[in-house]
């Protein structure tokens, strides 16, 4: 046994005990006649005192972050440290053994406020994981996963694992393909989600299924999206409606948040916002409800305007109460933001209404008294307000206004503090136009259209809504789900509208198509994202800070050197020849 106690549990009750500790040497302080060591493990830190001359001499060979074992006696500290759990005591060392020596020079310091380049941290992730904040994030993740499992067990869900080597299916992102050695020229696909498998489990007679499911999507990384792989609390229920799914989410998610935070947490039932309304009011389908700003459509106000930039355009407007006290520099900076490539605006018009109700600054000269009256009466524009206008084609104006709203909320510090605001986005369109102008699924292709087969046969595809829904928290998509299409005839028609033939459906989704011929129960489910849930609870702005071994912004694992080249022999085994210029 290397330790009888941990470095975080000793206190005044342990006085005069002989203990053994093991951990990492965080700091060495040589004060001449006395040497102090700070010994750290996962549970805390203890001060070690070297009185023995032989031990003091030996300590000159020690290096920080070495792993050591000590044996010694617990005594009361003279200079107590109230900021340390073990600050009332220290251990007088009698024996010290170096279990694993560290190099003299570290790539970066552990547990300091020093800024370290992220790629360096990822390359030496095993050291980075010793940093208290990151280490605690990983421990938090473990506790959250256990809580989720306990809650799903309490709700009588059955945990079932589904395959990792699966088939390719259209679920919104590129697949990761795995060549088959035993079946030349054929490929598995890593599952973007266990979608088909969980539906097949419902056909198989299971009542409630769940798993902490690994999902794989070849998508570009973002601060809130890990490249390649992520985890979700995947669940599905037989004989369930959208309302049944919402009740599960409203039971599981807020209770998990409440357990690990002292912030205010919305309780169910959560606000429900139709997709169309979300786009109109927030310009995005994952609105941050902590932001009080709302987008309004002022197109009719300016339909006879002399301002050429507004002529023939959709005009979206954001009113900022008490915003008129901002200086010209603020408005210029907001216009610079709007014109960035990320946002894509040609400009950002603005004006102010001062304390006396006078319109001044920006495009004030184009706002007639009649327009001002309409803005006051129909849009509640009050004195001391700032108004921002976005003029563009309808969908682009919505998108730009949404991004401007988010940025205004941040720059003006308008977001409600220390709170988690949840909402469901519902009534997503079943289809959308692709960049090529063809009809494509807008969300999950296995969703039930509202109105069923009749709607598919009689309505304009772009007018058909689906029983699809997202859970949103503080501006992040937290979960996605749907009532599933469980009728084979409806399934074929839904895919036909998106350009797939019945033959395509049978070939690509043969298991589901075949299973649906044998008495399929209505079923529905959802999949809260575990990584984002942990990120939000940990109050982190970067999803890589809650993953033990993440990939960098270019989807590279700098620690394990992946992706990497493989030998010609390995390629031959899976019948692949590279064609790289």
3-state secondary structure of 544: helix
The pLDDT value recorded for residue 437 is 87
Grade residue 249 by pLDDT with cuts at 50, 70 and 90: very high
pLDDT of residue 221: 85
- 406-413 LR contacts (CB < 8 Å, sep 24+): 406/284, 406/288, 406/291, 406/475, 407/334, 407/337, 408/293, 408/318, 408/320, 408/334, 409/288, 409/290, 409/291, 409/292, 409/293, 411/330, 411/333, 411/334, 412/320, 412/323, 412/326
* Tens-place pLDDT, residues 349-406: 999 999 989 999 999 999 999 999 999 989 989 999 999 999 999 999 999 999 999 9
DSSP secondary structure letters along 8-66: TT--GGGTT-EEEEEEEEEEEEE-SS-EEEEEEETTEEEEEEE-SHHHHHHHTT--TT-
Nearest Cα neighbor of 475 from 223, 226, 242 is 223
Average pLDDT, rounded, for the chain: 95
pLDDT surpasses 80 at 169: no
pLDDT band at residue 253, thresholds of 50, 70 and 90? very high
Local structure of 557: helix, strand or coil: strand
Q: Convert 337-359 to b/e letters by CB count within 10 Å (16 or more is b).
A: bbeeeebebeebbbbbbeeeeeb
Residue 285: helix, strand or coil by DSSP? coil
> Residue 329 above 90 pLDDT?
yes
Q: Alpha-carbon distance 13 to 95, whole Å?
A: 22
12 Cβ contact partners less than 8 Å away, ≥ 6 residues apart = 76, 88, 89
The DSSP 8-state label assigned to residue 379 in this structure reads H
pLDDT of residue 254: 98
pLDDT digits (tens, 9 = 90+) for 74-105: 999 999 999 999 999 999 999 999 999 999 99
What mean pLDDT is predicted for residues 468-493? 96
Distance CA 533, CA 255 (A): 12
Q: pLDDT tens digits, residue range 104-154? A: 999 999 998 889 999 999 999 999 999 999 999 999 999 999 999 999 999
Which tokens belong to 16? 């005069």
pLDDT at 258: 98
Distances (CA, A) of 297 to 294, 316, 378: 10, 5, 11
* Mean pLDDT in residue range 275-290: 97
| pLDDT at residue number 581 | 67
- Say what the pTM is: 0.93
* Confidence at residue 172, expressed as pLDDT on a 0 to 100 scale: 67
Q: Are 512 and 199 in contact (CB under 8 A)?
A: yes
The pLDDT value recorded for residue 41 is 97
Length in residues, the chain: 581
Tell me, what's the pLDDT at 21? Answer: 98
Q: How far apart are CA 374 and CA 508, in angstroms?
A: 55
How confident is residue 171, by pLDDT bands cut at 50, 70 and 90?
Answer: low
Contact 482, 524 (CB under 8 A): yes
* Structure tokens, 191: 């599952």
- Percentage, residues of the chain above pLDDT 70: 99
Give the residue-averaged pLDDT of 41-70. 95
Report the pLDDT value the prediction gives residue 463, as an integer from 0 to 100: 96
| pLDDT value of position 170 | 64
d(CA 139, CA 117): 23
């Amino acid at each position: 046994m290397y330790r009888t106690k941990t470095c975080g549990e000793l206190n005044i009750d342990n006085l005069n005990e002989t203990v053994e500790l093991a951990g990492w040497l965080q700091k060495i302080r040589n004060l001449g006649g006395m040497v102090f060591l700070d010994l750290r493990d996962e549970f805390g830190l203890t001060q070690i005192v070297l009185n023995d001359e032989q031990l003091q001499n030996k300590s000159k060979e020690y290096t920080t972050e070495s792993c050591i074992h000590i044996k010694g006696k617990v005594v009361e500290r003279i200079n107590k440290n109230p900021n340390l759990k073990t600050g009332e005591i220290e251990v007088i060392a009698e024996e010290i053994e170096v279990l694993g020596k560290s190099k003299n020079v570290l790539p970066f310091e552990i547990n300091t406020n020093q800024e370290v380049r992220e790629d360096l941290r990822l390359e030496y992730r095993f050291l980075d994981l010793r940093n208290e904040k990151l280490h605690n994030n990983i421990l938090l993740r473990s506790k959250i996963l256990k809580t989720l499992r306990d809650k799903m067990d309490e709700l009588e869900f059955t945990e079932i694992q589904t395959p990792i080597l699966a088939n390719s299916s259209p679920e919104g992102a590129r697949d990761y393909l795995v060549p088959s050695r035993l079946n030349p020229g054929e490929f598995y696909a890593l599952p973007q989600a266990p979608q088909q498998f969980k539906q097949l489990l419902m056909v198989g007679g299971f009542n409630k299924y769940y798993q902490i499911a690994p999902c794989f999507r070849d998508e570009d990384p973002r601060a809130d999206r890990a490249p390649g792989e992520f985890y979700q609390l995947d669940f599905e229920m037989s004989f369930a409606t959208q309302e049944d799914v919402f009740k599960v989410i409203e039971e599981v998610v807020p209770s998990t948040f409440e357990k690990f935070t002292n912030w205010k947490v919305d309780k169910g039932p959560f606000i429900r916002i139709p997709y169309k309304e979300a786009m109109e009011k927030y310009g995005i389908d994952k609105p941050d409800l902590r932001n009080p700003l709302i987008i309004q459509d002022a197109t009719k106000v300016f339909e006879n305007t002399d301002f050429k930039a507004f002529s023939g355009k959709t005009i979206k407007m954001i009113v900022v109460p008490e915003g008129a006290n901002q200086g010209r520099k603020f408005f210029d900076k907001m216009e610079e933001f709007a014109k960035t490539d990320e946002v894509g605006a040609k400009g950002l018009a603005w004006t102010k209404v001062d304390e006396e109700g006078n319109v001044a600054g920006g495009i004030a000269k184009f706002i007639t008294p009649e327009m001002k009256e309409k803005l006051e009466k129909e849009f509640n524009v009050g004195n001391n307000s700032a108004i921002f206008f976005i003029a563009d084609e309808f969908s682009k104006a919505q998108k730009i206004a949404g991004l401007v709203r988010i940025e205004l909320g941040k720059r003006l510090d308008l977001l409600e503090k220390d709170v988690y605001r949840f909402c469901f986005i519902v009534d997503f369109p079943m289809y959308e136009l692709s960049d090529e102008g063809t009809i494509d699924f807008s969300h999950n292709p296995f969703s039930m259209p509202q109105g069923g087969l009749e709607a598919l046969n009689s309505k304009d595809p772009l007018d058909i809504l689906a029983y699809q829904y997202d859970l949103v928290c503080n501006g992040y998509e937290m979960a996605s789900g749907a009532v599933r299409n469980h009728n084979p005839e409806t399934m074929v028609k839904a895919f036909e509208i998106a350009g797939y033939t019945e033959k395509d459906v049978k070939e690509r989704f043969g298991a589901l198509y075949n299973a649906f011929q044998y008495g399929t129960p209505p079923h529905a489910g959802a999949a809260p994202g575990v990584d984002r849930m942990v990120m939000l609870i940990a109050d982190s702005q970067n999803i890589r800070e809650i993953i033990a071994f993440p990939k960098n912004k270019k989807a590279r694992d700098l620690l394990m050197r992946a992706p990497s080249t493989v030998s010609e022999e390995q390629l031959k085994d899976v019948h692949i020849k590279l064609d790289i210029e």
